[in-house]
Structure 1
Amino acid sequence: MLGIHSALDLIFWLLAIGAFAMSAFAFVHALRTPARAFAVTGKQTKKLWTIILGFAVLFSFAAAVQYLSVIGIFTIASVIASGIYLADVRPAVKEIGKGGNSGPYGPW
C-alpha cells in the first residue's frame, strides 16, 4: 500500500513541476511582449496578464515545493490561466511582431 501512495505522490509532484514550468513560460512571454501587441489584438492589457500570470507562477511554485496541495483550487486556477494565455493570447500577440517589411528571402 505504501508503494501506491508514493507513486501517486511522485506523479502529482511531476504534474506540479509541469504546471510551474508552463506558468513560468507564459509569464516570461507576457513580460517580453510589447504592451502595444495586447492593445492591438483586443486582448486584456499587459499589466493584467502579468498580474494574473505572476500569481499563477506563485501558486504553481508553492504546489511544486509542496507548500500547497497539488490538486488544490489555486493550482488548478494557475494551470487554467496559463493555458488560456498560451492557447489564446500568445498566438494573437505573436502575429503582431511579424511586419510587412519582408522580402522574398526573409526580412530586410
Structure 2
Amino acid sequence: MELLANLDGYIVFVIKWIAVPVGIYAFVHAVRQRADAFTAAGKLTKNAWLGITGVGLLLLLITNGPISGGAMFWLAAMVAVLVYIVDVKPAVMEVQGGGPRW
C-alpha cells in the first residue's frame, strides 16, 4: 500500500527525468545545425533557438518537475523544447537536404 500512496510522486519523478534527455537532445541538435538553415526554413535564428532550448534545458534541470512551485516554468520549458523538436527540427533538416529524421 505504501507504493500506491506515493504513486503520484513516482510518476512525477519519472516525467521530470524523462524530460531532461529530451531537452538535451533539442539543445545538442540546435548546436550541430548550420546557422543559415534556420533562417532559410523561416524560423528564428540559430542563436535564438540555442537560447530557447538552452534556457529550457536549464529550467528542466533546476525545477522540481510538473508538480511544484516552479511548475509553470517547467511546463514552459517543456513546451519550448517540444516546439523545437516537432516544428523547427524537421524544417531545418529539410532545408539542409536531410528530410525528416526520426
* Coarse TM-score class (shorter-chain normalised): 0.7 to 0.9
Give the deviation of 1:5 after TM superposition.
4.1
TM-score by structure 2 length? 0.84
Show the counterpart of 2:34: 34
| Distance in 2, Cα, partners of 1:5 & 1:21 | 28
User: Deviations 1:4-42 (Å, cap 9, x if unpaired)?
Assistant: 342211110110011111111101000101101001111
Conserved 8 A contact 2:27-2:50: yes
Larger CA Rg, structure 1 vs 2: 1
Alignment CA distance shift 1:14-1:32 (3 Å) = same
CA RMSD of aligned residues (A): 1.7
Any gaps of 5 or more consecutive residues in structure 1? Answer: 100-108
Show the counterpart of 1:78: 77
Show the counterpart of 1:50: 50
Any gaps of 5 or more consecutive residues in structure 2? Answer: none
Conserved 8 A contact 1:59-1:75: yes
Conserved 8 A contact 2:15-2:65: no
How many residue pairs are counted as aligned between the two chains? 95
SS in 2 for 1:85: helix
Which residue identity is paired with 1:38? F
